[in-house]
Structures are given as structure tokens and as C-alpha cells.
Amino acid sequence: MTSEKRTVLRMLRSCAAQHPDYPYTCQKSGAAWACLTYSEALQESLFFASGLLENGIKKGNKIAILAEGRNHWITSEFGILFAGATNVPLALKLIPEEISFRIIHSESVAVVVSKIMLKKLAPLYGKLNNRIKLISLDRDLDEVMDLCRQNGLEPGKNLLFYRDIVESGKTAWKKNKPRLQQIEKGIGEDDLVTISYTSGTTGDPKGIMLTHLNYWSNCHDAMEYFNVTPGDRLYICLPVDHSFAHTVGLYAALLRGLSLYFVDFGSGGLQYAKNVAKNLVESNPHFMLSVPALTGNFMSKITDGVAAKGKLVKWIFNTGMNAGIRIHGDGFRKGSLPVRIANYLPYKLADWLVFKKIRKIFGRNIRYIVGGGALLDIRQQKFFYTLGVPVYQGYGLSEATPIISANTQEIHKMGSSGRVIPNVECKILRSDGTEASRGEQGEIVIRGANVMKGYFNNPESTSKTIIDNWLHTGDLGYIDEDDFLIVIGREKALLISSDGEKYSPEGIEEAIQNCANLIHQVMVYNDMKQYTSAIITLNKEKVHSFITKQGISNAAALLEALKTDLNRFRETPEFKNQFPEKWIPVTFQIATEDFSDENQMINSALKMVRHKIQEVYHKQIEFMYTPTGSKIVNELNLHAIEEFFKSSEQK
């Protein structure tokens, strides 16, 4: 090695030396998996870096990547870093305006792009700096070449190919090797690795500058806390630009020689969704990364599948699930000995007859799932824990690279976000800036080598977020009596009642969504109002089925059923009496469409973009605070249901 500095390049070199033949990255190629070993990934990254130099890339340049997770996503990033440049990872679900903003704002001089994303990027080319080059990861561009030429992109000129750059770098290797060695020697711990843009759930996106030391420290601290076996397989179905997948997958893997398996994106959309479950079994991982929306989908499909097997299987499943929940307690404190004895047989019977068959959908080796991205409600946690595929919830944010706390196999407590990882300081601050006592809620602030360098070209926001080296997360929480961090929710997303009291809506939203049968999504709202309301979307398939089975033809009757569904969580043990009455919605409006990435109401982390939903449904929200709108059976909801009946008849 040319340097002992704490950099991700040193991490890659060390892993390639220690585990040269271990598979590092794997993607589907036909019916098989095509993998790059650690030594192969290192070599190809260096050749790509050499090729970038041949194409005029200089130290300090910014190069964006807009592509689905794959082997060459990883070698592209390392090649960018070896060339002394900085990567700007872009989310697949960004709309064109958001893509162009990030490319221009980050001052990127090139974009590495896949064929699928080129369809989205090519029409934007005229709005970008003409000096920007696009580097296609795919060679076969026949179906998009006309689109490229229509927008001023010419192969060999401003549209280059990844494989050509690698080959040119290989040819020029002898010439460029000394220069690359000098570049690597000059890379410091404070130099940038990525500029990762916030998803903008509560406002405009900002470019988070993360350094070599940020990644190095967060990976080492996390792996010190997690007991991961060298050579384990890690399944990644999250976008690689996602900070959670980026750190835990791409970089932390280097400390244990893990093998990364990417979901086959296919042509996107439905094909991607189908491949998530299919590739999970095929890759047979030891653990995987997930977010609540994904595990919630698994949970829904599992319960629907059990119900389809008949009353006996459903009874065994439910009885075993309830017994297991009593036995396991919160994971940190198990049920009492009498409770464990009383529930042992029904739990073991369900595990033998039902649970072990369900676990096969996660492959043969799955030990656990690491959850991040958003709060994971207690019902999901207890469900998967009892099933035998626990979801260990963690907490973090991109500005912290992102891991702050985590539950692990050895130390966990359901309902919490785990204990703070080693070498990260965490305290809870009251609104007056003083430190809160144990169990008292306040803003979560942290300090450590994982804290970002700042926001790119935004010193004002940086100074408001990092104060005296402490990162102010904007999240509310507290440390409980067992040293576990309990995260309440985003301060900016808080409900505010007419008397000024504040409350996080995320727990209520998760409770409603996980307990309701007919409601698909819900955003709870209160901004200095006398009562709380909600915007909901419907689970169309289940509502159609409900209408047919119940013989409902009256819109008002269906609205009453939705009202009952909205409040179903009240009778669920995990949520019963958990939320103050003033924060539970008394009325709702049915949204005209699902919250999705296409309409910008869901971001790449599958979180609701609250300000966007509030903007689109501003009139409906105001209507709910009128005498007519305060009642669920109102003209707007009746109209929405009538439209639903029409669509049912058409089916």
C-alpha cells in the first residue's frame, strides 16, 4: 500500500489482499449469477480509473452514477475514487427535473448511466453543460440510440461506453500507473468520496459531503458491533445510491469479505418487484437489507398466503404467532418461565407445521434482516421475530454516513432502534439546548468521525445542522432505562395541535397501515388545528374483493367500513391505548391516486414526501376542517367511492 491513511481505497486493497478469490459483487446473467472477485473488482476499478484519466478526468472532478445495482456500479465508483474524483450517486426514482438539478448543482462533468436510465437522462442532455459526458454501462443501445442522437448524443464523442474506457485504461496502464499511484498517495482522509443528495421529504434536497474517514469509521464501528461471518452473502434489493445500502453493503462488506447479491432490476417496475422475491431464494443470503415498506409487503403476502390455505392453517399460524410473541417478550426481556412453558407447545407446533415452510421464501441460510430507512412498527418486529427471521431495526441518516444505532442478534429490544454503535456519542437535547435526562424526549444529536463534512455549496444549512461538531439530526427520541435509543420521528414532520402541543405521526401511520385491510397508505395531518385528519389511499384489490363479498353497493356503507378499518389498530394488542386520542384521525379524505415515486409523493427510501402530499391535497386538507368535511361521509369521499364502484363494475 502507498498509504496507511483511513480511506475506502485502503479498505478495498486490504480485502483484495486478504480474500482475493472471494466473490465481491454478483448480478444475474441469464439463469446464473455473474460475480466479480475482490481481486478482479480491484483490477477493473484501476483500469477504469486509468481510462478516466485518458478521457480528461482530473482530481477533484465530480462524476454522477445513475444506474440500478450491478457489478459495474461498484467498479465505476471505485474507479472514480482511484482517479481522485468524487462520486455523486443518484436515485433511480428521481424525476427529470431532480436529476438535472443534482447534476448541475454538484458540478458533475460526467454521468455513468445504465441503458434503462439513459432513456430518462438523454432528453435532459440539452439542459446540461455540453461538456458533460455520458458513460453507458451497457453496449447494446439500439432501442435508445435514436433518442440519444435526437438530443445531441454521439457515440465516441459525448456518449462513451464503460467497457471501452476500461480497455483504454488497460492499454494505457503502464503510462498511467505512476500517476494513479501519486493520486492515491495524495488522497486524504478528509477528501470526498460521495456527494449524496437528501431525498427532500420535508424540503429542498441538499448535497451531503461524505469523506473517506466518514465511511471508514462508520463501517469499522458498525462491524465491531455486528457479528458478521467472513464470506457471508448479503442480499441487496435496495437502490445502491441509498446511504444505508451504500455503507452497509458496498463498503462494510470490505471488512469481512462479504458477497453482495443484487436484485435483477430487469426492465424495472413490475419485473423488479417480481425479482425481489425470486432472487432472494436464488441468492440464498445469510442476511439482507430492508426498509419497512418492503418488509410490510412481505408480511402482507405471508398473511394472505396463510389465509388462502384454509381455516386450520390460519388458526395454527395465528395461535403459534400469539404464543411466540408471549414467549419472546420484547427480545431483551423474555416472557416469564410460566408464560414460556404455557406457550411452548403451540409455538413449536406452528413453527414445525407452518413457520419453517414460510422461512423458505428467504432462502435456506437467512439469519436476520437489517432494517433501516424509516421507523419499523412493533407489530412488524414481533411478527418476523416470531417467524424466525428477525428484522433488527437500526437508526441513522445520510449525514451520519448513516449508522447511529442498531439492534443486533446479541443485543436487541423490539420497539427500539438499538444501542448507539461504538465511537459515536449521542445525547438528547431539550428545546432550550440543555441535555435531557434519561427517558425524556428531545432532539437526537450525535458526534463522531461519521458526521458529514457538510452540505455541498451550502454553508448556511451546514452551520445550522452541525453546531460545535454536534450533528443535529432533526429527529426526536430518548434513551430508555436499558440504554436503547427510541426514535419518535422527524421534528419537521410533527403534528401540532391548536394549543401548540407536538406529536410525531409516524407511529400512528405505521399502526393504521399494518392493521388495516382496506387502507393502503395514510398521511396523518394536524397543523394548529382542533383535531387530527388524514389523507388515505385504498388497497384497491382488497376493496374490490370486500365490495363483492359483502354485497356493498352503497357508498356511505363503504365509507363506514373504511372508518372501522382506519381504527382497527385500536383493538390490536401492540397498539391498544398507545396513542393519545387527540392525534388519532377523526376524519379522512380519499386520495385520487396512490403515493408513488412517479407523482413524487414517495422518495427513493420509500418514505412519504409529506410536503408534496400536503401541496397536492391542500384543498382536501382544508375541506376536512369545515363542518361538512369533519365527517367521513362527505361529498368528496362519496364521489371518490362512486368512482370506485364504477371501476369495480368495469372489472
Q: In whole angstroms, what is the distance from residue 406 CA to residue 138 CA?
A: 37
The candidate with the shortest Cα–Cα distance to 426, out of 403, 408, 407, 409, is 403
**Secondary structure class of 535 (helix, strand, coil):** strand
Q: In whole angstroms, what is the distance from residue 23 CA to residue 16 CA?
A: 10
Q: 216, 241, 273: which is the final residue of a domain?
A: 273
C-alpha cell at 337: 418461565
User: DSSP letters of 86-131?
Assistant: EEEE--TT--HHHHHHHHHHTTEEEEEE-HHHHHHHGGGGGGS-TT
Residue 380 inside a domain? The answer is no
Q: In whole angstroms, what is the distance from residue 203 CA to residue 197 CA?
A: 12
The candidate with the shortest Cα–Cα distance to 374, out of 94, 614, 606, is 606
Residues in the chain: 651
Residue 293 inside a domain? The answer is no
Contact 340, 377 (CB under 8 A): no
pLDDT for 579-636, tens place per residue?
A: 888 889 999 999 989 998 888 888 766 778 888 898 899 899 989 999 888 999 999 9
Q: In whole angstroms, what is the distance from residue 585 CA to residue 513 CA?
A: 13
Q: In whole angstroms, what is the distance from residue 518 CA to residue 562 CA?
A: 7
Residue 385 inside a domain? The answer is no
Which CATH number fits the domain that encloses residue 529? Answer: 3.30.300.30
Which CATH number fits the domain that encloses residue 92? Answer: 3.40.50.12780
Within 346-455, strands assigned E span 368-371, 391-396, 403-406, 419-420, 425-429, 442-447, 454-455
Residue 382 inside a domain? The answer is no
Handedness of CA 407, 238, 213, 199 (dihedral sign): negative
Contact 592, 546 (CB under 8 A): no
Q: In whole angstroms, what is the distance from residue 368 CA to residue 341 CA?
A: 25
- pLDDT at residue number 605: 65
Contact 236, 262 (CB under 8 A): yes
Q: In whole angstroms, what is the distance from residue 645 CA to residue 347 CA?
A: 42
Residue 198 inside a domain? The answer is no
Q: In whole angstroms, what is the distance from residue 568 CA to residue 512 CA?
A: 7
Residue 265 inside a domain? The answer is yes
Q: Which residues of the chain have pLDDT under 70?
A: 1-3, 129-130, 199-204, 373-374, 498-500, 604-605, 648-651
Contact 236, 286 (CB under 8 A): no
**Secondary structure class of 33 (helix, strand, coil):** strand
Q: 273, 305, 336: which is the final residue of a domain?
A: 273
The whole domain housing 605 covers: 495-650
Residue 239 inside a domain? The answer is yes
**Amino acid symbol at 307:** A
Q: 214, 249, 273: which is the final residue of a domain?
A: 273
pLDDT for 255-280, tens place per residue?
A: 999 999 999 988 777 788 889 999 99
C-alpha cell at 301: 403476502
C-alpha cell at 569: 389498530
What's the total number of domains in the chain?
2
Q: In whole angstroms, what is the distance from residue 69 CA to residue 71 CA?
A: 7
- pLDDT at residue number 202: 42
- pLDDT at residue number 328: 97
Residue 376 inside a domain? The answer is no
